Chains A and B, each alone.
Chain A
Amino acid sequence: MSIWEYANPKRFMQSSARVLPWVTGLAALALLGGLAWGFFLTPDDYRQGSTVKIIYLHVPSAMLAINGWGMMLVASLIWLIRRHHVSALAARAAAPVGMTMTLIALFTGAIWGQPMWGTWWEWDPRLTSFLILFLFYLGYIALWEAIDNPDTAADLTSVLCLVGSVFAVLSRYAVNFWNQGLHQGASLSVDAQENVADVFWYPLLTCIAGFVLLFVALVLIRTRTEIRARRLQALEARERMA
C-alpha cells in the first residue's frame, strides 16, 4: 500500500468521495467559527480600530495564494516524473482557486490600505509581487485553455509551472531591490519577537485552518469534475469510433 495507489483515478474518486463531505463540513465550521470569533469576539486594535479584523481574510488568502502555486509545482513535478493523470488534473484544478485567493488578498489588502496607508495601491514589493503572481496564474490558466490535446497541455503547463516558479521567486526579490516596502514584516513566525497578540492569534489560526480546508475541498471538487469531464470525452470518442 503506497501513496501512489491514489494516483489511480478510480481509487482517487472513491477515496475523495469519502473524504470530501468531512473536509467541506470542517472547512465551513472552521471558517464560520473563526470569522465570527474574529469579527465579533475580539477587541479593536488600539491604533487600527476595527480595520484590523480584515487580517482574518487577508492573511489566510495570501498564504494560500502562494502555497497554491507550490501545490501546483509539486503536482506538475509528479506529472512530469511519474505521469499520473490525476496529478496533472489536480494542478489544473488548483490554478483558478489559487488565482482567486490572490485576488482576495489583493482586494482585502486594498480595502485595508485605504484607511491605514491612505492609498488603495502602493508599488510596495509585497503588493507588486502579488500582482506578478496573479499574472503568472493568468498565463498558466490561459495556456491550459489554449491547447486541445490534454496530454500536451499537461506537459507544457507543467514546464511553464517549473520555469514560472523560478521567475516568480526571482521577481519577488527583484521588486524588493527595486522599491522599499510599506507592508509590515512577518508577524506570524513561530520564533519572531514581534507577533500578533494571542487574542488575535487564535481566531486567525482558526481562519487559516478554515481556508486551507476550503482550498482542499475546492481542489478536490474541481479535480473530480476534471476526471469526470475526461471520462466523458473518452466515452464520446468511443461513440464516434463505433
Chain B
Amino acid sequence: MIALLLRDLRLAVRAGGGFGLGLAFFLIVTVLVPFGVGPEGGTLARIAPGILWVGALLACLLSLDRIFALDFEDGSLDLLATAPIPLEAVVTMKAAAHWLTTGLPLVIAAPLFGVLLHLPGAGFFWLTVSLALGTPALSVIGTFGAALTVGLKRGGLLLSLLVLPLYVPTLIFGAETVRRGTAGLETGPPLLLLAGITAASVALLPFASAAAIRVNLR
C-alpha cells in the first residue's frame, strides 16, 4: 500500500500529472474574484471565507478525473484489482495520493490567498484548520465520482455534475467554520460536523468506489 502511494505521488510530481495545476487554478480564481465584485476591502473580507472554500473545492475537482484515468488506460488498474491487497485499500491510497498532491498544497497556500482577499486576522487559523479537516473528504468523495466515470470517454463534465452536489455538506460546514471564526463566534459545531463528514466519508466511501471500479472493470 505504501509502495502504491509512493508510486502515485512520484507519478504526480514527475509526469506533469497536474501537481501544482490545482494550486495555480486556485490562485487564478482568487485573483478573478476581485475583478468580478470590485476591489473594496470590506466586501472582499466578507466573502473571502466562501470564495476560498469554493476555490479550493473547484481546484480539487479539476484533478479528479486523473485519479483513475491513466491507470485505466494502460491497464495497471486491472493489475491493481487482481493484486493481493483489497481494491478498497487501493482506492483509499489513490484518494490519499490525490489529497497529498492537491488538498495539502491548497491547505498550505490558502492563508496566502486569504491575504489577497483581505481575510480578517481571526480567520486564518480557522481557514487552515477547516481546510485541513475538510479537503480529505473532498478527495474521497471525488475518488468515488472518478470511480463511477472511469470507463467513460468524456467523463470530465459528468464527473463534476455528479460530484458537486455531494460536496454541498462539506462546503457548508467548512465555510461556516471560517465565517464564524472570522466573526469571533463559536466554531465548535460546524468544525465537529465537518470532521464527522470527513471521518464517515473516509470510512465508508472506499467501499462504494471499489464497487464502482469492479463494475467498470467487468
Question: Measuring CB to CB, which residues of chain A are less than 8 angstroms from any residue of chain B?
Answer: 132, 135-136, 138-139, 142-143, 146-147, 152, 155-156, 159-160, 162-164, 167-168, 170-171, 174-175, 177-178
Contacts and interface: CB of A to CB of B under 8 A. Distances in A.
Contacts of B161: 135, 138-139, 142
Contacts of B149: 143, 146
A139 B165 contact: yes
6 contacts: A135-B165, A138-B161, A142-B162, A171-B168, A171-B169, A175-B168
A229 B81 CA distance: 34
A178 B172 contact: yes
Given A175-B172, A177-B190, A163 B166 contact: yes
A152 B216 contact: yes
B166 A156 contact: no
The DSSP consensus for interface residues of chain B is helix
A178 to B, nearest CB: 5
Nearest to A157: B148
Given A139-B161, A163-B205, 4 more contacts: A132-B165, A152-B215, A171-B168, A177-B176
Interface in B167-198: 168-169, 172-173, 176, 189-190, 193, 197
B144 A163 contact: yes
B158 interface: yes
A167 B176 contact: no
B81 to A, nearest CB: 15
A163 B162 CA distance: 11
A159 B176 contact: no
Contact of B169 (A136, A163, A167): A167
Interface of B: 144, 148-149, 151-152, 154-155, 158, 161-162, 164-166, 168-169, 172-173, 176, 189-190, 193, 197, 205, 208, 211-212, 215-216, 218
B162 A143 contact: yes
Given A156-B212, A177-B193, A167 B165 contact: yes
Nearest to B189: A177
What are the 4 tightest A-B residue pairs by CB atom distance, in nearest-first order? A174-B169, A135-B165, A155-B215, A174-B172
Contacts of B218: 152
A138 B190 CA distance: 28
Contact of B148 (A132, A156, A167, A175): A156
Nearest to B165: A135
B175 to A, nearest CB: 9
Contacts of A162: 208
B162 A139 contact: yes
Contacts of B208: 159, 162-163
B169 A143 contact: no
A175 B189 CA distance: 14
B148 A159 contact: yes
A160 B162 contact: yes
Contacts of A143: 148-149, 158, 162
A65 to B, nearest CB: 15
Contacts of B162: 139, 142-143, 160
Nearest to A178: B172
A136 B216 contact: no
A167 B152 CA distance: 24
A135 B215 CA distance: 24
A136 B205 CA distance: 17
Contacts of B176: 177-178
A159 B164 contact: no
A171 B161 CA distance: 16
B163 to A, nearest CB: 8
Nearest to A128: B168
B211 A167 contact: no
